Amino acid sequence: MAMPPPLFAAASLLLPSPTIHSSTGSRRPFRLPLRSSRRPPVAAAAASGVPDEWGDRSPSAPEPPSQPDPPIDDDEWGRDDPSASGNSRPVPVTDEWGEPGVPEPQSTSAADPPTNDDEWGGDPAPPPPPPPAPEEDNEEERREELKRCLVDTVYGSDLGFRASSEVRGEVLELVTQLEATNPTPEPVQATHLLAGNWILIYTAYSELLPILAVGAAPLFKVDEISQEIDTNSMTIVNASTISSPFASFSFSATASFDVQSPSRIEVQFKEGSFQPPKISSSVDLPAEVDIFGQKISLGPVQQVLNPLQQAFASIAGSISGQPPLKLPIPGNNRARSWLLTTYLDKDLRISRGDGGLFILVKEGSPLLDQL
């Protein structure tokens, strides 16, 4: 016979609750969890993805409203934008180690180059020429020093006639160094430098030895041997002057030349000329002369010539107006020669011919003051 429901419910309350042994050995009562009478709607639980303590879906807690992002400081120095707020203060700048640093100042841009804005629209002024290179300055100084040494070496050698073997060796060494630094690689083409009157200061030309020997004789002196070059008429005039206490004698040879290369010319002599001697109005003899190593006094000779001064003056007046004597030179191989210019500048010229070496200084050059 079935028990009435109330009695069954009361009996179930009087029955002991089953116990569950835990791993620790204690016993704890087992109770069925009571379901809450307040269950969320099924639709709301399904919409949320969060399970509750019973395994059902419950709506998640509402998220707080999102806040706007703080303003970003875009200043490269780490300072606040002064336009953002009126009371902003600069943010200190730190280096890569975290130490406070000083902002690097910005460099100012260079000024633009000046432009030509004149009303005529002319071209801008050209830039100044660059300064000469130090190498060029050093080479020019070296050439000037070599030229001074060369002039000092040939001084007192009577154009090379009295030069010793040591002096000739030094001259050749200096000439070789100058030729290696020749500033005019095409001397024949440099007509502005080649043209003019050149004074001979040293030579090793054998055909000039007779003239130099006369100049070495007592009471005679070679005043000058020169070479005048005219690049317009393509002519050369070699002239020599010998003086004595009684008179001076001048003679010359005229030649034409043809260009064979930028540094070589071929010379063809055409004519010789002898100027009338210039008789001295007075005879001034030296006190003594050196003849074969002996000093001879010329005082007695000077006393004999004193009464003849008037006669010398009359002879000089009659001869001075005479025209020069010109003689044609036969056109044979002896009248033909060649000349190679190995060094040329505004002061010095070095030439080599089929007869030897010639060193010449241009008329008016300061180098002549050293001789």
Is the Cα torsion angle 278, 279, 281, 286 positive or negative in sign?
Answer: positive
Contact between residue 182 and residue 343 where contact means Cβ atoms under 8 Å apart? yes
Contact between residue 295 and residue 286 where contact means Cβ atoms under 8 Å apart? no
Q: Kindly state the tokens that stand for 29.
A: 């009562």
Contact between residue 208 and residue 239 where contact means Cβ atoms under 8 Å apart? no
Q: What are the extents of the domains in the chain? A: 138-280+334-362
Q: Kindly state the tokens that stand for 139.
A: 């080479």
Please state, as a whole number, how many other Cβ atoms lie within 10 Å of the Cβ of residue 263. Answer: 21
Q: For the residues 334-354, what does the mean pLDDT come to?
A: 92
Looking at domain 138-280+334-362, its CATH class is mainly beta
pLDDT for residue 80 is more than 90: no
For residue 299, what are the contacts with CB-CB under 8 A and spacing of at least 6?
287
C-beta pairs of 58-64 under 8 Å, 24+ apart in sequence:
none
Residue tagged 């000024």 (tokens): 111
Q: Kindly state the tokens that stand for 354.
A: 């089929």
Cα–Cα distance for residue pair 30/4, rounded to 1 Å? 27
Interval 151-205: pLDDT, tens: 999 999 999 988 999 999 999 999 999 999 999 999 999 999 999 999 999 998 7
- Predicted confidence at residue 343, as pLDDT, reads 97
In angstroms, the Cα distances linking 305 to 184, 207, 299, 310, 311 are 54, 35, 10, 10, 10
Contact between residue 242 and residue 222 where contact means Cβ atoms under 8 Å apart? yes
pLDDT for residue 65 is more than 70: no
Within the chain, residue ranges assigned H as helices are 5-14, 42-47, 134-154, 165-180, 191-194, 209-216, 299-305, 309-319
DSSP symbol at 94? B
Cα–Cα distance for residue pair 315/321, rounded to 1 Å? 11
End-to-end CA distance of the chain: 168
DSSP per residue, 185-225: S-TTT-HHHH-EEEEEEEE--GGGHHHHHHHHSTT-EEEEE
Interval 102-119: pLDDT, tens: 666 665 666 666 555 555
pLDDT for residue 84 is more than 70: no
> What's the whole-number average pLDDT of the chain?
75
- Predicted confidence at residue 209, as pLDDT, reads 76
- Predicted confidence at residue 1, as pLDDT, reads 46
Interval 220-265: pLDDT, tens: 889 999 999 999 999 999 999 998 877 888 999 999 999 999 999 9
Residue type, 260: Q
Q: What angle do CA 142, 146, 149 make, to 5 degrees?
A: 140
Look at residues 355, 359, 318 and name the one whose alpha carbon lies nearest to residue 336.
355
Q: Is the pTM of this model over 0.85?
A: no
Look at residues 356, 164, 344, 363 and name the one whose alpha carbon lies nearest to residue 262.
344
For residue 79, what are the contacts with CB-CB under 8 A and spacing of at least 6?
73, 88, 90, 91
Element (H, E) at 330: none
- Predicted confidence at residue 47, as pLDDT, reads 44
Per-residue b or e along 76-85, where b marks 16 or more CB atoms closer than 10 Å to that residue's CB: eeeeeeeeee
For residue 361, what are the contacts with CB-CB under 8 A and spacing of at least 6?
151, 198, 199, 201, 347, 348, 349, 367, 368
